[in-house]
Amino acid sequence: MSDMKKEAGKASSSMLKATIVTGALSAVSIALFLTPFGYIPWLAGASLTVMHVPAILGAVLEGPAAGAIIGGIFGLTSLVKAATAPQGPIDVFFTNPLVSVLPRIAVGLLAWVAFKALGRKRRTLGAAAAAIVGSLANTIFVLGALVLLGALPLAAAASVFIANGLVEAALAAVLTVGVVAAWKGIGSKSGKARLADEDRK
């Protein structure tokens, strides 16, 4: 009975931590949406986005559900922005959840798959892989949906992928590895913080 109570306590503590981390990263995602910090000026007036990074971090730190939830929030903010404050002719297509929401949910799910495959023994490599896979999923799925809907010609989508997508993936990897390393350091000192793969041993 004592062991059952301990296990129940651990499960409750783990769920509470997952809820807190998911809530905090969701708040970060919304803050990036409300401020210019989600976009970094790039070549020829274009911008690099880091809006998908909280979803990747959620997947790495707390698993696929957290990543999917945070990614969904990112997608919903994108949909709301397209519906209420469009800034170009392509923005109207982001009112379609197939363009704005579903690809962002996939970011968290695929990032978790990559981290689970590599992160159990090689956490830094796993975090980098999760960031690259999640970021490329965001770019490929969104651009692919825009091509299928006729918003972008395939050649233009390929140019955006090369000019922005690859750099965004590298930037996401740097940010994700840095945050995961810091989180691991905090967890080592407190003895409480655990990454998603450690929760499932």
Summarised one tens digit per residue, pLDDT across range 46-73 is 678 899 999 999 999 999 999 999 999 9
By the 10 Å C-beta count (0-12 exposed, 13-18 middle, 19+ buried), 189 is classed as: exposed
Tell me what pLDDT residue 194 has: 54
Tell me what pLDDT residue 39 has: 83
Summarised one tens digit per residue, pLDDT across range 121-159 is 788 899 999 999 999 999 999 999 999 999 999 999 999
CA 42 to each of CA 45, 46, 47, 130: distance values in angstroms, whole numbers, following the listed order: 6, 5, 5, 23
On the question of pLDDT at 7 being above 60, the answer is no
The answer for 150, left when phi > 0, alpha when psi is -120 to 50, beta otherwise, is left
Sort strands 39-41 and 47-49 into parallel, antiparallel or unpaired: antiparallel
Summarised one tens digit per residue, pLDDT across range 8-52 is 555 566 788 788 989 999 999 999 988 888 888 776 556 788 999
Which pLDDT band holds residue 201 (cuts at 50, 70, 90)?
A: very low
Which pLDDT band holds residue 186 (cuts at 50, 70, 90)?
A: low
Rounded CA separation 142/108 (Å): 14
Rounded CA separation 159/173 (Å): 21
Which range of 6-20, 169-183, 185-199 scores highest in mean pLDDT? It is 169-183
Tell me what pLDDT residue 199 has: 45
What distance lies between CA 145 and its chain's CA centroid?
18
Higher pLDDT, 49 or 193: 49
Segments making up each domain of the chain, as ranges = 2-199
Rounded CA separation 56/131 (Å): 6
> Residue 8: which residues within 8 A CB-CB, separation 6 or more?
none
Which numeric CATH code is attached to 2-199? 1.10.1760.20
Closest CA to 196 of 32, 60, 1, 53: 60
147 within 8 A of 86, measured Cβ to Cβ: no
On the question of pLDDT at 120 being above 50, the answer is yes
Tell me what pLDDT residue 9 has: 52
Summarised one tens digit per residue, pLDDT across range 108-119 is 999 999 999 987
